[in-house]
Protein backbone atom coordinates (compact mmCIF):
# COMPACT_ATOMS: atom_id res chain seq x y z
CA UNK A 1 0.00 0.00 0.00
CA UNK A 2 1.39 3.42 -0.93
CA UNK A 3 1.97 6.00 1.80
CA UNK A 4 -0.83 8.21 0.40
CA UNK A 5 -3.32 5.33 0.52
CA UNK A 6 -2.15 4.37 4.03
CA UNK A 7 -2.72 7.94 5.21
CA UNK A 8 -6.21 7.96 3.64
CA UNK A 9 -7.12 4.68 5.35
CA UNK A 10 -5.84 5.93 8.71
CA UNK A 11 -7.76 9.16 8.27
CA UNK A 12 -11.02 7.35 7.43
CA UNK A 13 -10.53 5.10 10.44
CA UNK A 14 -10.12 8.15 12.69
CA UNK A 15 -13.34 9.63 11.28
CA UNK A 16 -15.27 6.41 11.91
CA UNK A 17 -13.95 6.30 15.46
CA UNK A 18 -14.91 9.93 16.08
CA UNK A 19 -18.48 9.27 14.89
CA UNK A 20 -18.88 6.06 16.89
CA UNK A 21 -17.53 7.60 20.09
CA UNK A 22 -19.58 10.77 19.72
CA UNK A 23 -22.81 8.84 19.18
CA UNK A 24 -22.30 6.97 22.44
CA UNK A 25 -21.25 10.10 24.34
CA UNK A 26 -24.25 12.10 23.14
CA UNK A 27 -27.02 9.51 22.96
CA UNK A 28 -26.44 6.80 25.54
CA UNK A 29 -27.21 7.31 29.21
CA UNK A 30 -27.27 4.93 32.17
CA UNK A 31 -30.32 2.69 32.31
CA UNK A 32 -30.86 2.61 28.56
CA UNK A 33 -31.59 -0.29 26.25
CA UNK A 34 -29.35 0.18 23.22
CA UNK A 35 -29.45 -1.35 19.75
CA UNK A 36 -25.94 -2.01 18.48
CA UNK A 37 -25.38 -1.86 14.73
CA UNK A 38 -22.96 -3.77 12.56
CA UNK A 39 -19.96 -2.70 10.51
CA UNK A 40 -16.66 -0.92 10.77
CA UNK A 41 -18.17 2.34 12.06
CA UNK A 42 -20.61 0.74 14.51
CA UNK A 43 -17.55 -1.16 15.79
CA UNK A 44 -16.32 2.05 17.44
CA UNK A 45 -19.67 2.71 19.09
CA UNK A 46 -19.52 -0.75 20.65
CA UNK A 47 -15.93 -0.11 21.73
CA UNK A 48 -16.86 3.20 23.38
CA UNK A 49 -19.88 1.66 25.09
CA UNK A 50 -17.70 -1.16 26.40
CA UNK A 51 -15.13 1.30 27.73
CA UNK A 52 -17.75 3.41 29.49
CA UNK A 53 -19.41 0.41 31.11
CA UNK A 54 -16.01 -0.90 32.17
CA UNK A 55 -14.96 2.35 33.83
CA UNK A 56 -18.37 2.80 35.51
CA UNK A 57 -19.45 5.87 33.52
CA UNK A 58 -22.48 3.96 32.25
CA UNK A 59 -24.49 1.53 34.39
CA UNK A 60 -27.62 -0.56 33.90
CA UNK A 61 -27.17 -0.80 30.14
CA UNK A 62 -28.69 -3.61 28.09
CA UNK A 63 -27.53 -3.91 24.49
CA UNK A 64 -29.22 -5.65 21.58
CA UNK A 65 -26.67 -6.66 18.93
CA UNK A 66 -27.69 -6.84 15.26
CA UNK A 67 -25.25 -9.55 14.18
CA UNK A 68 -23.15 -12.39 15.51
CA UNK A 69 -20.07 -10.26 14.88
CA UNK A 70 -21.37 -7.38 16.98
CA UNK A 71 -22.57 -9.81 19.63
CA UNK A 72 -19.06 -11.28 19.88
CA UNK A 73 -17.52 -7.83 20.16
CA UNK A 74 -20.05 -6.81 22.85
CA UNK A 75 -19.37 -10.02 24.77
CA UNK A 76 -15.64 -9.31 24.67
CA UNK A 77 -16.42 -6.07 26.56
CA UNK A 78 -18.83 -7.82 28.97
CA UNK A 79 -21.67 -5.60 27.79
CA UNK A 80 -24.97 -7.01 29.16
CA UNK A 81 -27.04 -8.34 26.26
CA UNK A 82 -30.73 -8.71 25.55
CA UNK A 83 -32.99 -9.25 22.56
CA UNK A 84 -36.12 -7.59 21.23
CA UNK A 85 -38.03 -10.37 22.95
CA UNK A 86 -36.63 -9.50 26.40
CA UNK A 87 -36.44 -5.73 25.71
CA UNK A 88 -39.00 -4.83 23.01
CA UNK A 89 -38.47 -1.04 23.02
CA UNK A 90 -34.82 0.04 22.79
CA UNK A 91 -34.24 3.67 23.78
CA UNK A 92 -31.78 4.16 20.96
CA UNK A 93 -30.12 2.24 18.13
CA UNK A 94 -26.75 3.31 16.73
CA UNK A 95 -25.67 2.00 13.33
CA UNK A 96 -23.66 2.78 10.23
CA UNK A 97 -24.99 3.03 6.68
CA UNK A 98 -23.75 2.46 3.15
CA UNK A 99 -25.45 5.50 1.62
CA UNK A 100 -27.37 8.42 3.14
CA UNK A 101 -29.43 10.90 1.11
CA UNK A 102 -30.43 14.41 2.15
CA UNK A 103 -33.76 13.14 3.58
CA UNK A 104 -31.89 10.60 5.76
CA UNK A 105 -33.07 7.72 3.62
CA UNK A 106 -30.47 4.97 3.74
CA UNK A 107 -29.07 1.96 1.98
CA UNK A 108 -27.86 -0.59 4.48
CA UNK A 109 -26.80 -4.21 4.35
CA UNK A 110 -23.58 -4.27 2.40
CA UNK A 111 -22.23 -5.83 5.60
CA UNK A 112 -24.99 -8.44 5.43
CA UNK A 113 -26.84 -7.61 8.66
CA UNK A 114 -29.79 -5.67 7.24
CA UNK A 115 -32.62 -7.83 8.61
CA UNK A 116 -31.64 -7.62 12.26
CA UNK A 117 -30.54 -4.02 11.82
CA UNK A 118 -33.97 -3.06 10.49
CA UNK A 119 -35.83 -5.02 13.18
CA UNK A 120 -33.91 -3.28 15.94
CA UNK A 121 -33.99 0.18 14.33
CA UNK A 122 -37.74 0.05 13.74
CA UNK A 123 -38.42 -0.62 17.42
CA UNK A 124 -35.95 1.95 18.73
CA UNK A 125 -37.20 5.25 20.10
CA UNK A 126 -34.29 6.99 18.35
CA UNK A 127 -32.24 5.75 15.37
CA UNK A 128 -28.80 7.35 15.20
CA UNK A 129 -26.70 6.91 12.06
CA UNK A 130 -22.92 7.26 12.06
CA UNK A 131 -21.07 7.68 8.77
CA UNK A 132 -18.01 9.20 7.17
CA UNK A 133 -18.87 11.98 4.74
CA UNK A 134 -18.21 9.85 1.63
CA UNK A 135 -21.46 8.01 2.43
CA UNK A 136 -23.56 11.09 1.63
CA UNK A 137 -25.20 10.85 -1.80
CA UNK A 138 -27.64 12.84 -3.94
CA UNK A 139 -29.69 9.75 -4.82
CA UNK A 140 -29.55 6.24 -3.36
CA UNK A 141 -27.96 3.42 -5.32
CA UNK A 142 -25.05 5.26 -6.90
CA UNK A 143 -22.01 4.00 -4.98
CA UNK A 144 -22.77 0.29 -4.79
CA UNK A 145 -25.39 -2.38 -4.33
CA UNK A 146 -28.84 -2.39 -2.82
CA UNK A 147 -28.74 -5.64 -0.80
CA UNK A 148 -31.83 -7.84 -0.57
CA UNK A 149 -32.00 -10.79 1.83
CA UNK A 150 -33.87 -13.75 0.33
CA UNK A 151 -34.63 -17.32 1.24
CA UNK A 152 -32.24 -19.92 -0.24
CA UNK A 153 -35.21 -21.92 -1.58
CA UNK A 154 -35.42 -21.35 -5.35
CA UNK A 155 -33.24 -18.27 -5.11
CA UNK A 156 -32.92 -17.94 -8.90
CA UNK A 157 -36.66 -17.47 -9.19
CA UNK A 158 -36.62 -14.78 -6.46
CA UNK A 159 -33.70 -13.07 -8.19
CA UNK A 160 -35.70 -12.96 -11.43
CA UNK A 161 -38.65 -11.43 -9.55
CA UNK A 162 -36.33 -8.73 -8.17
CA UNK A 163 -35.38 -7.67 -11.68
CA UNK A 164 -39.08 -7.51 -12.63
CA UNK A 165 -40.02 -4.98 -9.94
CA UNK A 166 -42.26 -2.39 -11.58
CA UNK A 167 -40.48 0.57 -10.01
CA UNK A 168 -37.26 -0.54 -11.69
CA UNK A 169 -38.67 -0.73 -15.20
CA UNK A 170 -36.99 1.79 -17.46
CA UNK A 171 -33.80 1.86 -15.44
CA UNK A 172 -30.79 -0.39 -15.88
CA UNK A 173 -30.55 -2.84 -13.01
CA UNK A 174 -28.56 -6.04 -12.59
CA UNK A 175 -28.55 -8.67 -9.86
CA UNK A 176 -25.77 -10.78 -8.33
CA UNK A 177 -25.99 -13.45 -5.70
CA UNK A 178 -23.48 -12.44 -3.03
CA UNK A 179 -20.45 -14.70 -2.76
CA UNK A 180 -17.68 -14.85 -0.18
CA UNK A 181 -14.45 -16.69 -0.90
CA UNK A 182 -16.05 -18.50 -3.84
CA UNK A 183 -18.98 -19.67 -1.73
CA UNK A 184 -22.51 -18.35 -1.50
CA UNK A 185 -22.65 -15.78 1.29
CA UNK A 186 -25.03 -16.89 4.08
CA UNK A 187 -26.46 -14.38 6.55
CA UNK A 188 -26.76 -14.85 10.32
CA UNK A 189 -30.37 -15.85 9.58
CA UNK A 190 -29.26 -18.59 7.16
CA UNK A 191 -30.50 -16.68 4.14
CA UNK A 192 -28.84 -15.46 0.93
CA UNK A 193 -28.26 -11.92 -0.28
CA UNK A 194 -28.87 -10.63 -3.78
CA UNK A 195 -27.06 -7.38 -4.56
CA UNK A 196 -28.93 -5.13 -6.99
CA UNK A 197 -26.81 -2.70 -8.99
CA UNK A 198 -28.28 0.40 -10.63
CA UNK A 199 -26.81 2.57 -13.37
CA UNK A 200 -28.57 5.65 -11.98
CA UNK A 201 -30.17 6.54 -8.62
CA UNK A 202 -32.97 4.16 -7.60
CA UNK A 203 -36.26 5.64 -8.82
CA UNK A 204 -39.49 5.80 -6.80
CA UNK A 205 -37.95 4.75 -3.48
CA UNK A 206 -41.22 4.26 -1.60
CA UNK A 207 -42.80 2.15 -4.36
CA UNK A 208 -39.57 0.22 -4.83
CA UNK A 209 -39.42 -0.59 -1.11
CA UNK A 210 -43.04 -1.77 -1.07
CA UNK A 211 -42.71 -3.83 -4.23
CA UNK A 212 -39.51 -5.50 -3.03
CA UNK A 213 -40.98 -6.61 0.29
CA UNK A 214 -44.11 -7.86 -1.51
CA UNK A 215 -42.09 -10.49 -3.40
CA UNK A 216 -42.59 -13.90 -1.86
CA UNK A 217 -39.11 -15.14 -1.04
CA UNK A 218 -37.78 -11.71 -0.07
CA UNK A 219 -37.06 -11.57 3.64
CA UNK A 220 -35.98 -7.91 3.82
CA UNK A 221 -34.27 -5.25 1.73
CA UNK A 222 -31.68 -2.61 2.47
CA UNK A 223 -33.82 0.48 1.83
CA UNK A 224 -34.28 2.17 5.22
CA UNK A 225 -36.71 4.96 4.36
CA UNK A 226 -37.78 7.65 6.85
CA UNK A 227 -36.31 5.70 9.74
CA UNK A 228 -33.22 7.64 10.83
CA UNK A 229 -33.69 10.46 13.34
CA UNK A 230 -30.20 11.90 13.21
CA UNK A 231 -27.03 11.29 11.24
CA UNK A 232 -23.56 12.08 12.58
CA UNK A 233 -21.40 12.81 9.55
CA UNK A 234 -17.70 12.58 10.27
CA UNK A 235 -15.23 14.48 8.10
CA UNK A 236 -11.78 16.00 8.27
CA UNK A 237 -13.25 19.14 9.83
CA UNK A 238 -15.06 17.22 12.58
CA UNK A 239 -18.62 15.97 13.03
CA UNK A 240 -21.78 17.62 11.80
CA UNK A 241 -25.37 16.59 12.35
CA UNK A 242 -28.12 16.05 9.81
CA UNK A 243 -31.57 15.82 11.41
C1 LIG B 1 -24.20 -3.84 7.70
C2 LIG B 1 -24.52 -2.42 7.44
C3 LIG B 1 -23.48 -1.43 7.82
O4 LIG B 1 -24.02 -0.56 8.75
C5 LIG B 1 -23.06 -0.70 6.60
O6 LIG B 1 -22.57 -1.65 5.67
C7 LIG B 1 -21.96 0.32 6.89
O8 LIG B 1 -20.81 -0.33 7.31
P9 LIG B 1 -19.45 0.43 7.52
O10 LIG B 1 -19.63 1.30 8.73
O11 LIG B 1 -18.44 -0.67 7.72
O12 LIG B 1 -19.17 1.23 6.28
O13 LIG B 1 -25.55 -2.05 6.97
O14 LIG B 1 -25.23 -4.66 7.25
Is the CA virtual torsion 220, 201, 122, 131 positive or negative? positive
Q: How far is the CA of 112 from the centre of ligand 1 (A)?
A: 8
Sequence-distant (≥ 6) Cβ neighbours of residue 159 within 8 angstroms: 150, 175, 177, 194
Q: What is the largest distance, in Å, between two alpha-carbon atoms of the chain?
A: 56
Distance separating alpha carbons of residues 169 and 172, to the nearest angstrom: 8
Distance separating alpha carbons of residues 60 and 56, to the nearest angstrom: 10
Q: How far is the CA of 110 from the centre of ligand 1 (A)?
A: 6
Cβ(99) – ligand 1 distance below 6 Å: no
- Strand, coil or helix: what is 218? strand
Q: What is the pLDDT of residues 120-157, one digit of tens each?
A: 999 999 999 999 999 999 999 999 999 999 999 999 99
* Alpha carbon 118 to its chain's center: 8
* Alpha carbon 148 to its chain's center: 13
Q: Report, as ranges of residue numbers, the positions in the chain whose pLDDT lies below 50.
A: none
Cβ(37) – ligand 1 distance below 6 Å: yes
With the most atoms of ligand 1 within 8 angstroms of its CB, the residue from 15, 21, 111, 228 to mutate is: 111
Q: What are the DSSP E strand ranges found in the chain? A: 33-36, 62-65, 92-95, 99-100, 106-107, 126-132, 146-150, 173-177, 179-180, 183-184, 192-198, 218-221, 223-224, 230-235, 238-242
Please name the residue whose Cα sits nearest to atom 5 of ligand 1. Answer: 97
Nearest atom, ligand 1, residue 147 CA: 14
Nearest to 19 by CA among 103, 109, 144, 135: 135
ipTM for the predicted complex: 0.98
Catalytic residues: 117
Query: Backbone phi, then psi, for 216, in 5-degree steps?
Result: -70, 125
C-alpha to C-alpha distances, 123 to 37, 54, 71, 173, nearest whole angstrom? 13, 27, 18, 32
β-strands 106-107, 173-177 pairing = unpaired
- The pLDDT value given to residue 170: 87
Distance separating alpha carbons of residues 11 and 14, to the nearest angstrom: 5
Please name the residue whose Cα sits nearest to atom 8 of ligand 1. Answer: 39
The count of residues in the chain is 243
Amino acid sequence: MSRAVQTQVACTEDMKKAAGYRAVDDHIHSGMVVGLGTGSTAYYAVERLGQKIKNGELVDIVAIPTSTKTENQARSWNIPLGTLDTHPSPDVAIDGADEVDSHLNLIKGRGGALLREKMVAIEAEKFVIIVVESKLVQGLGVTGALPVEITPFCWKRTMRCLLDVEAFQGCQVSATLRQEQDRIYVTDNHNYIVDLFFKEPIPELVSAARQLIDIVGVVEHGLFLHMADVCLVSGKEGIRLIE
